[in-house]
Chain A
């Protein structure tokens, strides 16, 4: 089948498949936004607060936001933030980086961590983070 021969029904099926693929990710991010509410005493997407900003998080070397006063432990951790390192850190921050200023026991539920990371990934593509 080529594009010319694809009828409305075929396109409809393709769109439905695409929606089926993206909808769970969107739902994950929506749940993740609720989990992110736990972070709001210290963090924001676009500005540094008690903790550093989350815009630009993926691929960033830990402890590298210019001007932010990190703990020596975080600064020397050599972690690069991605889905895997975030999952490990969020599970037990002080276990992964002893001495971090993020004195928080962690998000123990793997599903909640995955949702939170999905939200952070989505937020990083948002206009707020693209400014």
Chain B
């Protein structure tokens, strides 16, 4: 049974704790991979994993707010606006999954801040918004790259790498829209 099919997070957590005692185990795999078969092979998730997921969640929530700022700025032409909202949708999907996983592992998911103090005064044209978003996406790729090796659970690491790939594509498309080389190097760091 997948945790995604549980009716409530409480029910999912109860089942999780019932199976594993107080240990955070590889059942997080069930949430992220969509089935339980991998869970037994993936190793235990740790409290550290929950912290990694929560830090990533905080950044995803900020990215959602940043794209909303761009969308509301009236600086984006229609095709660019559609692109931004599409990317924002990806970040929403990331955030939703990360929050569910944190809760399933017994943690408390961070929530969006009421104010992000974005550099609004520096956003005067479409290119400024694109450059701002590109920097966030580049940073996100690096952040996930720096998080992947830290996971105790390999399936969580794999899921984070999947998100990393998505955000790298965002970064490349934003660079392309800015007239820059979309993929500036062979390696990311």
Contacts and interface: CB of A to CB of B under 8 A. Distances in A.
B165 interface: no
Interface residues of A, number: 20
B143 interface: yes
Given A38-B142, A105-B147, A49 B51 contact: no
Contacts of B116: 49
Contacts of A103: 48, 51-52, 55-56, 146-147, 150
Interface string A90-130: 00001000010111111000000000000000000000000
A41 interface: yes
Interface in B145-186: 146-150
Interface in A23-45: 37-42, 44
A28 B174 CA distance: 28
B138 A104 contact: no
A76 interface: no
Contacts of B189: 38
Contacts of A10: none
A50 interface: yes
Interface of B: 48, 51-52, 54-56, 58-59, 62, 116-117, 119, 135-136, 138-140, 142-143, 146-150, 189
